[in-house]
Amino acid sequence: MKYIDLFSGCGGLSLGLQQAGWKGLFAIEKSSDAFLTLEHNLINVNNHFNWPNWLPKKNHDINVVISQYTAELKSLRGTVDLVAGGPPCQGFSMAGRRNEGDNRNKLIDSYIEFVKLVQPKVLFFENVKGFTIGFKKDNKRGEAYSKYVWSKLEGLGYNVHGEIVNFSEFGVPQKRQRFILVATKGKRAQTFFDFIVKNRAEFFKSKKITDKTSLSDAISDLVKKNGTQESPDSKSFQAGIYSRPKSNYQKLMRQGKPLTNKIADSHRFARHRADTIERFQYILDHSKANLTISDAVRKKYNLKKHTIVPLCKESCTPTLTTLPDDYIHYSEPRILTVREYARIQSFPDSYEFKGKYTTGGERRRIDVPRYTQIGNAIPPLFSEQAGIALKEML
């Protein structure tokens, strides 16, 4: 079962497909930061891709690949079972500025052109919920991009079906809703969605988890009070160490990892100022969990930031964004670490993240630091279930 991962990011989709028994051909990702993480885990460590000789093993812009390797892509026809992945979502996201003029929106056409060239048997496409909502012009709602993609793929001979899926219903401790579209030649695409629901109980049983994983179930073995050591990849920062796992979800995420007293990868704590810690503690003490802070709290601290959410211990989190200071840990006055972010997105602890932790200013347009890599990713726990369903369809 061969697949190509488009707009692969740091590899969340590829990791899940690997766990479901798929073999990668290659991945296309423009960001050198995100590709560095994918390369480390899925090329150097796991040798997951049968990378073709004609394509350099590095980050690529999809438009450059299409223009420079047209013949090579056409030669893959009949050999590729699946093209997976969806274009960047920032232009469509309801959480962002939602800009129809965002150049990244044009990557939809690049995606369709790639499909035309390779002609895989099945397509798996993921994007934000806002992809299904048309942009407004002159107070009129335009056609949603989801309809545009749907009709283009039907024009290429695919049977197409798409739905909004809440990943929290598939074991991910996060209320993350995404538009999933599946297209297939020869079978009804609807069968994918029927299967992932039907197979859910069996999958949970095999992993010894449920669809009721809370935030504390996910990250309570990573609290700062366990103790700290100097961060191995960031001098002058402290990193957290493990306690014993406290839930089956933690055991699943820590497979192959030592039980206690060892530093978790990318578990570096932010160096908050004393007044920031005091403010975070006040928010934890005086705000409702999983809701953005009240106007009274904003006024007390003269806060202009749009989103500040103290997280709830007993439930899953809201959708993680790429901005770590949007959230406050449920029991400690601090933001989440990269490893805690990864846990909530269901990346196992063996998956190591590369590149900068954060960035700011003008570099935000260029860099894709670790928090952003994870915030943009498809949760591997869901993509594994998708991979099982896609295999079943074939």
Domain at 2-209+377-393: CATH architecture: 3-Layer(aba) Sandwich (3.40)
Distance of alpha carbon 55 from alpha carbon 73, whole angstroms: 10
> Which is it for the CA torsion 254, 256, 259, 261, positive or negative?
negative
Distance of alpha carbon 209 from alpha carbon 200, whole angstroms: 11
Q: Give the catalytic positions in this structure.
A: 89
Residue spans per domain, the chain: 2-209+377-393, 215-359
Distance of alpha carbon 63 from alpha carbon 113, whole angstroms: 9
Domain at 215-359: CATH architecture: Alpha-Beta Complex (3.90)
pLDDT tens per residue across all 394 residues of the chain: 999 999 999 999 999 999 999 999 999 999 999 999 999 999 999 999 999 999 999 999 999 999 999 999 999 999 999 999 988 755 444 445 545 555 555 788 999 999 999 999 999 999 988 887 765 565 565 667 888 899 999 999 999 999 999 999 999 999 999 999 999 998 899 999 999 999 999 999 999 999 899 999 999 999 999 999 999 999 999 999 999 999 999 999 999 776 667 999 999 999 999 999 999 999 999 999 999 999 999 999 999 998 999 999 999 999 999 999 999 999 999 999 999 999 999 999 999 999 999 887 777 778 899 999 999 999 999 999 999 999 999 9
Q: Find the angle CA(11)-CA(15)-CA(20) to the nearest 5 degrees.
A: 150
Distance of alpha carbon 91 from alpha carbon 99, whole angstroms: 5
